[in-house]
């Protein structure tokens, strides 16, 4: 009788099979002593045979589980962004470009040695130039190399000479490997006083700003660059200008309704 029940179950859809399994689990909790070791082995063998014959069901289940986990994690991250919006959108020590009172905030996590961060530069500069109601927050997350960390220190130190964005753009525009000497060569080319820059790079405020930047990235699960927060949502990887503009416009339309 037990085998007949399971053989009938395997003819159902995957959802039906799972429902059958849960039903059996419920029975097992209340009537565990009624199942012999032989019956338990029969149950295992039946499902082993079924899944060996239909491996695509396992793949579909794993894909569905992964998607469900991703959706759950995205919802958790969104809750963090919403609850900590004031801190995330106004980080101490980092550079804020565009309109500081803009109606939409775009946050970028980037690395000066990352090709995709370099590719995103033109998109960010376009938005800064053409969207006068957009706030852009630059999160220094040097993950790729030691020289990335030096570049972040230099960029933040350049704020003291009102040259952050100029140096930021020049560093990301560089096609060669960013060695330390190259960083200061680029800094000089955009009009920075290198002696002052090096002195300003040693301040504890910059170290704290980069550490806080990494902490926020870690909390949000950002493990690579670039990554973006637009509104209340986190986007991992290169987005492209049109996707950014679409999301920004969508936020504004939803708020206007």
Q: Record the tokens describing residue 249, joined without a space.
A: 């416009």
- 181/200 Cα distance (integer angstroms): 17
- 25 and 144 both lie in a single domain: no
Query: Any idea what the CATH number is for the domain that residue 247 is in?
Result: 3.40.30.10
**pLDDT tens for the 257 residues of the chain, in order:** 444 444 444 444 444 444 455 454 455 445 545 667 777 777 777 777 777 777 777 677 777 766 776 767 778 888 999 999 999 999 999 999 999 999 999 999 999 999 999 999 999 999 999 999 999 999 999 999 999 999 999 999 999 999 999 999 999 999 888 999 999 999 999 999 999 999 999 999 999 999 999 999 999 999 999 999 999 999 999 999 999 999 999 999 998 88
The number of distinct structural domains making up the chain is 2
Distance CA 225, CA 216 (A): 14
Task: Let me know whether 218 and 91 are in one domain.
Answer: yes
- Both 239 and 189 in one domain: the answer is yes
Q: In the listed set 83, 114, 137, which residue is the last one of a domain according to the structure?
A: 83
Which of 83, 105, 124 terminates a domain? The answer is 83
Burial of 209 (0-12, 13-18, 19+ CB in 10 A): buried
Q: Kindly state whether residues 29 and 125 are assigned to the same domain.
A: no
| 11/125 same-domain check | no
76 and 177 in a common domain: no
Residues 222, 138: one domain?
A: yes
Q: 141 with 225: CB under 8 angstroms? A: yes
pLDDT of residue 50: 73
Q: How many Cα atoms within 13 Å fall on the side-chain side of residue 84?
A: 16
Residues 62, 182, single domain; the answer is: no
State whether 126 and 249 are in the same domain.
Answer: yes
Domain stop point among 83, 106, 139: 83
| pLDDT at residue 2 in the model | 45
Residue 115's domain comprises 86-256
Are 102 and 129 within one domain? yes
Question: Which two structure tokens, joined as six digits, stand for 255?
Answer: 């708020």
Q: What pLDDT score was predicted for residue 65?
A: 67
Alpha-carbon dihedral sign for residues 48, 50, 51, 55: positive
Residues 102 and 135 in one domain: yes
Provide the β-strand partners of residue 136: 97, 106
Between helices 146-157 and 204-219, what is the axis angle to 10°? 120
First to last CA, the chain: 61
Report how far residue 124's alpha carbon sits from residue 153's, in angstroms, rounded to the nearest whole number: 21
Q: What is the pTM of this model?
A: 0.74
Q: Can you give the pLDDT at residue 49?
A: 75
Write the DSSP string, the chain.
Answer: -HHHHHHHHTTS-HHHHHHHHHHHHHHHHHHGGG--HHHHHHHHHHHHHHHHH-HHHHHHHHHHHHHHHHHHHHHHHHHHHHHTHHHHHS-TTSEEEE-TT-SEEEEEEE-TT-HHHHHHHHHHHHHHHH-TTEEEEEEE---S-HHHHHHHHHHHHGGGGT-HHHHHHHHHH--S---HHHHHHHHHHTT--HHHHHHHTT-HHHHHHHHHHHHHHHHTT--SS-EEEETTEEEES---HHHHHHHHHHHHHHHH-
Same domain, 18 and 63: yes
């Amino acid at each position: 009788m037990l085998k007949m029940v399971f053989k009938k179950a395997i003819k159902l859809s995957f959802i039906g099979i799972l429902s059958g399994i849960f039903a059996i689990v419920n029975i097992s909790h209340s009537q565990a002593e009624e199942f012999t070791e032989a019956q338990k082995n029969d149950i295992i063998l039946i499902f082993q045979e079924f899944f060996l014959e239909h491996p695509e069901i396992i793949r579909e289940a794993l894909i569905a589980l992964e998607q469900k986990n991703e959706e759950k994690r995205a919802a958790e991250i969104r809750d963090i962004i919403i609850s900590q919006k004031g801190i995330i959108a106004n980080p101490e020590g980092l550079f804020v470009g565009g309109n500081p009172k803009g109606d939409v905030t775009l946050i970028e996590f980037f690395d000066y040695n990352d090709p995709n961060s370099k590719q995103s530069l033109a998109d960010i500069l376009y938005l800064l130039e053409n969207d006068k109601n957009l706030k852009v927050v630059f999160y220094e997350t040097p993950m790729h190399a030691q020289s990335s960390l030096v570049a972040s220190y230099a960029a933040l130190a350049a704020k003291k000479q009102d040259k952050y964005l100029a140096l930021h753009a020049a560093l990301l525009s560089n096609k060669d490997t960013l060695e330390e000497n190259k960083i200061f060569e680029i800094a000089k080319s955009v009009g920075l006083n290198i002696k002052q820059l090096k002195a300003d790079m040693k301040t504890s405020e910059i170290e704290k700003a980069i550490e806080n930047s990494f902490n926020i990235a870690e909390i949000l699960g950002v493990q690579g660059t670039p990554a973006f927060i637009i509104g209340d949502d986190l986007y991992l990887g290169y987005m492209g200008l049109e996707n950014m503009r679409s999301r920004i416009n969508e936020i504004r339309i939803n708020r206007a309704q």
